[in-house]
Amino acid sequence: MRGVPTRLLTELSAPALTAALGPDSVLVLPTGAIEQHGPHLPVATDLITAQSLAERAVKRFGDELDLWLLPPLAYTKSNEHAWSAGTFWLSAETLTAVLRDLARSVATTPARRLAFVNGHGGNSALLQVVARDIRVETGLRTFTLHPRLPADQGGTSPEGELGMGVHGGFEETSVMLHLRPDLVDMSQADRWVPEHLAGYRHVRFGGSVSFGWTSDDFGPAGVIGDAREATAEAGAERAAAAVDYLGEALAEVARFDPTPP
């Protein structure tokens, strides 16, 4: 269905939705979080980022790739920040049940592809497990994408963060200065990098050995990174790169078929 007036699926009537979707339509579900992000960023940082970048990608590539945007999932798995007021989270069991229920609803439509655009690193492992469960239970093709891969999952962060800018640091702060500068307080931005972890070869963020952690393990600010040099210009560059990446990735999602030819 080309040139449709909206790519937000919930703006269609039920009959129009059924007529618009086909087996190669991709339903895009942004997954964010509501959690503390230190003294300088709003608790909705991950939600705002996931929703905004997914919206931009669907607007730009939706007609070409038959993408359809679902409303974002705000409350997710954030128990690593549960020590702080302002964190509103679901247990792994609850979030798993919510995602499986939503997938069963997707399976009643003609669409057979569901893509999670995830803005919160704490969701990643759970989404991968649930994506497989959904595939088995419903037959949907399921995918998990990050607008930007977190540093603790193979992504990069600035040299000054020693590869450990995983929460509230330069990248997130810059993107928020671009998306919602009214919600950022740079007078509270500071450097909170656990430098002692750089001495570990394997057990570290992005190392070969993962470890359980909560954000207050590294200091009372609950931030892991350096936000001091963040700028809106850097955020705009990163947001544009994220949308470009999502377009490329979703193009593969739209035609992916694991069956050998």
pLDDT of the residue at 205: 87
Indicate whether 1 pLDDT > 60. no
Closest to 98 in 3D by CA, of 118, 74, 79: 74
Average pLDDT of 16-26?
97
pLDDT of the residue at 67: 98
Residues 158-179: tens digit of each pLDDT: 889 998 999 999 999 999 999 9
- Listed in sequence order, the residues at least 6 apart from 198 whose beta carbon sits closer than 8 Å to its beta carbon are 162, 163, 164, 204
Three-class secondary structure of residue 178 per DSSP: helix
Length of the chain: 261
Amino acid at 23: P
**pTM assigned to the model:** 0.95
145, 250 in Cβ contact below 8 A? yes
- Listed in sequence order, the residues at least 6 apart from 60 whose beta carbon sits closer than 8 Å to its beta carbon are 243, 247
CA 169 to chain centre: 16
117, containing H or E segment: strand 113-118
Residues 78-95: tens digit of each pLDDT: 999 999 999 999 999 999
Average pLDDT of 129-146?
98
Q: Which fold has domain 10-255?
A: Rossmann fold (3.40.50)
Domains of the chain, residue spans: 10-255
CA dist 130 and 136 (Å) reads 10
Residue predicted with more confidence, 51 or 204? 51
pLDDT of the residue at 150: 84
Percent of the chain with pLDDT over 90: 89
- Listed in sequence order, the residues at least 6 apart from 179 whose beta carbon sits closer than 8 Å to its beta carbon are 48, 49, 52, 235, 239
Q: What is the number of H-type helices and E-type strands within the chain?
A: 6, 6
How many Cα atoms sit within 13 Å of 90 on the Cβ side? Answer: 17
pLDDT of the residue at 156: 81
∠ CA 154-47-211, nearest 5°, is 35
Q: Which two tokens stand for residue 155?
A: 């992504």
